[in-house]
Amino acid sequence: MQRKTSQRDAIRRAIEEAGRPLTPQEILEAAREHVPGTGIATVYRAVKDLLDERWLQPVDLPGEPSRYEVANLPHHHHFHCRQCGRVFDIHHCIGDFKKMTPKGFVLESHELTLRGLCQACSSSAAAQAKPAKDHDGPGHACP
């Protein structure tokens, strides 16, 4: 068992408060809000220990660095924002995948990751796509 430190407590708190899977860098940034002196090596050690304790579980997406979330959460899936790279929990499941499983196969689990733009990135993209109002009135395009 690891000794309890303010940095380790800050790391646990950061993961719990995030409510979504975090990269080690995101864990570090959030933990530093509670304990400014927290370092990345401390985060990696804590992640390893929390994985060993089964308090934490990895969220692995192909071609992406591992992210981590609290273990033993109810069944859920993930949304990966292609712009900011953050991963969010989706607390819905589309249903019975056993119907899709080939005859004679035994389905044990499934993972589903949706990809696109998160709310913040889609709002930012929409704002950037709006034409700016020019000073010469409607319908006039500035050169």
Top CATH class, 1-73: mainly alpha
Give me the residue spans of the domains in the chain. 1-73, 75-129
How is the chain split among helix, strand and coil, in percent rounded to 5? 35, 15, 50
Torsion angle in degrees (nearest 10) through CA of 36, 38, 40, 43: -130
Output the pTM of the full model: 0.75
How far does CA 78 lie from the centroid of its chain? 8
pLDDT in tens, 88-100: 999 888 777 888 8
Q: pLDDT for 112-127, tens place per residue?
A: 899 999 999 998 877 6
DSSP string over 75-113: S-EEEEETTT--EEEE------GGGGSPTT--------E
CATH architecture of 75-129: 2-Layer Sandwich (3.30)
